[in-house]
A and B are shown apart, each in its own frame.
Chain A
């Protein structure tokens, strides 16, 4: 089956930052949450795929089409909402969308009006008079109006009020339900994708440390406290270990395995606590390679 996108050994170098070598792909019908702190390489990764940045080496494909800048067919499959929303500023939202519609055979004006209504977007206003949130909404409408098979969203809900944010996430959920489309969603705010994402990829310093199904994280990761007189232990499958006297607190990446090990060591009063996706993400990004190899 064709991948929605593929990065093969992609490298992009800046004077003070290097992305990759990056290997990443996505199946149609799924959503990959791309998580990392500011400056970790999320935006750079997406900008390479849409052609705003030229990779130094490696290959990228979108639904089997190589991302050759002089053969732009692959761009027809992409809807992109970037970190900066760019329009003809003196034109209204509607006129900007009319302009874009000329480039996409699948463009639907019905879809435009349906989305504008759902997002409460004033299409008659000039782009330069739109608020930050409304600019993001206009960008989302532009990205969705030609029904692309791959949506690349770079923190798309930043600046949007909570009501519309829920509406945006509902629209994305509907897109995923069709089963043919894929969403690559970059964010450093986890709650907004924890509902939708099938998998999460964690990036920091230009490298992906971990890619895992979301359920694996919530089911396997636990904060565990226990009592043990010994201080020289190294519990298995943990990314953090704090001790105060006989009281220990660890974060386990594989709860069952760690618990079994703790029992073997003779730990007492073992208590396990569920962790939120945000707590897990913080640990992963703090742990870097340690987490990836645990």
Chain B
């Protein structure tokens, strides 16, 4: 599986470099000015979306799934393969953000910061899993209609998780009751762990959906 992952990273290095060149300066700004974590994390979500669009579009256009499915690796490994590329990229961004916050706050990060990072990570896992399910589920059915309905539902879930990502740490100029309510629900141990559980569950489900495909053409 490692050669396939390595190939994906090297093949897409131009888009990775482009996105890093936007995120890293933003994180540097956070290190200097402080208090920009939420804005940087929102920029990170946009970058993951762009990464998904660029990689996904080319994969579909060139039908590269055919290549990986023909390789002597299991279909399960193929299904799992979509996560490491995004997750490694995401974790590298999180490390950058964490370091920038550590600098701006002179080494003292509260426990809330941990929940903040875990909530964002869990929501990214939900988004990536739902996009994967949306891509694969139409190929699990003989007739197109049920698959297409489930595809739309899965993609709506991905959009919903993206909204939640944006608003799980509320904007500063929102009225206090709203910001308090959102922060109390999501930026808590229960919120973080619950979302992580959901994210991992959906990731496993997306691999199962991939395994259940009737064809691997696009």
A residues contacting B by CB (< 8 A) are 13-15, 47, 50-54, 69-73, 75-76, 80, 82, 84, 86-91, 99-100, 102-104
Contacts and interface: CB of A to CB of B under 8 A. Distances in A.
Interface in B53-89: 58, 62-64, 66-67, 69-76
Given A90-B11, A99-B7, A54 B214 contact: yes
A51 B75 contact: yes
B217 interface: yes
B215 A54 contact: yes
The main secondary structure of chain A at its interface with chain B is loop
Contact of B63 (A15, A75, A86): A86
Contacts of B7: 88, 99
28 contacts: A13-B142, A15-B142, A51-B70, A51-B75, A52-B69, A52-B70, A52-B215, A52-B216, A53-B214, A54-B213, A54-B215, A69-B74, A70-B75, A70-B76, A72-B71, A72-B75, A75-B70, A82-B66, A84-B63, A84-B66, A86-B64, A87-B62, A88-B11, A88-B67, A89-B62, A90-B11, A103-B71, A103-B72
A72 B72 contact: yes
Contacts of A13: 142
A152 to B, nearest CB: 10
B3 interface: yes
B18 interface: no
Contacts, number: 69
A73 B66 CA distance: 18
A258 B99 CA distance: 89
- List the 8 closest pairs (A to B, CB-CB), nearest first: A102-B3, A69-B75, A75-B72, A86-B67, A70-B74, A72-B72, A86-B66, A76-B72
Interface in B118-143: 142-143
Nearest to B217: A52
Given A47-B215, A70-B74, A75-B72, 13 more contacts: A50-B70, A51-B216, A52-B70, A70-B211, A72-B72, A80-B70, A82-B66, A86-B66, A87-B67, A91-B11, A99-B7, A100-B71, A103-B3
Contact of A104 (B64, B72, B74, B216): B72
A86 B62 CA distance: 7
B75 A103 contact: no
Contacts of B69: 51-52
Task: Pick the most buried of B62, B76, B143: most chain A CB atoms within 10 A of its CB.
Answer: B62
Nearest to A90: B11
B64 A88 contact: yes
Contacts of B67: 86-88
Interface in B200-218: 211, 213-217
A103 B58 CA distance: 23
B74 A71 contact: yes
A16 to B, nearest CB: 11
A138 to B, nearest CB: 12
A90 B64 CA distance: 12
Contacts of A54: 213-215
Contacts of B143: 15
Contacts of A80: 70
Contacts of A103: 3, 71-73
A144 B66 CA distance: 18
A69 B77 CA distance: 10
A212 to B, nearest CB: 31
Interface string B9-26: 001000000000000000
A71 B69 CA distance: 12
Contacts of B63: 84, 86
Task: Pick the most buried of B11, B58, B63, B69: most chain A CB atoms within 10 A of its CB.
Answer: B69
A69 B214 CA distance: 12
Contacts of A76: 72
Nearest to B66: A86
A181 B56 CA distance: 38
Nearest to A146: B72
A99 B3 contact: yes
Contacts of B11: 88, 90-91
B212 to A, nearest CB: 8
B71 A75 contact: yes
Contacts of B216: 51-53
Contacts of A14: 142
Contacts of A71: 74
